[in-house]
Amino acid sequence: MTLTQDITENDYPMQHAGEEIDEILIRAGKIHYGTVEHKMTGANALMRIPLGLTFTPKQVIATLRQTDIPTPYKTFCTHVSGSGKSYYLNVCMGANNGSTVNVPTGTYYVDYIAIE
């Protein structure tokens, strides 16, 4: 015996779930996302990667990635800062002994989500 159930527009639980999702999206405003590529040509204690936003965000979430082979000896510290339309992902690097070291050269990628 096979049971099937059609979901219709009158199915209250499904309709209610859709309304909740709509409300979340309305509160969030416009959601922008993207990837910024940054080439670090010289080792430095701080790397500032501009996100290139064209609006003033309410919230920015950013992650850093690199295509190098992972190593437990690289401890990156990231922080989003900025105001207006100028937002950056600031990256510094710490050694596993508590001291700071230079961010190594290489190509880095910032994946971000920004809410307008």
The structure's pTM equals 0.71
Cα 32 to its chain centre, rounded Å, is: 10
Domain annotation covers residue 20: no
- Look at the chain and report how many structural domains it folds into: 1
pLDDT digits (tens, 9 = 90+) for 71-97: 777 788 899 999 999 999 999 987 766
- 9 versus 112: the higher-pLDDT residue is 112
Question: How many of the other CB atoms lie within 10 Å of CB of 87?
Answer: 20
Confirm whether 63 is domain-assigned. Answer: yes
CATH number at residue 67: 2.60.40.2080
Asked whether residue 17 is domain-assigned, the answer is no
**CA-angle at 50, arms to 38 and 95, nearest 5°:** 65
Is position 92 within any domain?
yes
Tell me the per-residue pLDDT of 38-78, one tens digit each, with 9 for 90 and over.
Answer: 999 998 999 999 999 999 998 899 999 988 776 777 788 89
Coil, helix or strand at residue 36: strand
Residue 8 lies in a domain: no
Q: Is residue 16 part of a domain?
A: no
pLDDT score at 19 = 73
pLDDT reading at 28 higher than 90:
no
Tell me if 94 is assigned to some domain.
yes
Backbone angles phi, psi at 67, to 5 degrees: -90, 0
Containing structural domain, residue 63: 29-115
* Residue 3 covered by a domain: no
Phi, psi of 24 (to 5 degrees): -60, -45
Read off the pLDDT of residues 1-15 as tens digits, 9 standing for 90 and up. 454 555 555 555 656
DSSP string, 43-109: -BS-EEEE---SS--SEEEEEEEESSPP-TT-EEEEEEEEETTEEEEEEEEE-TTS-EEPBPSEEEE
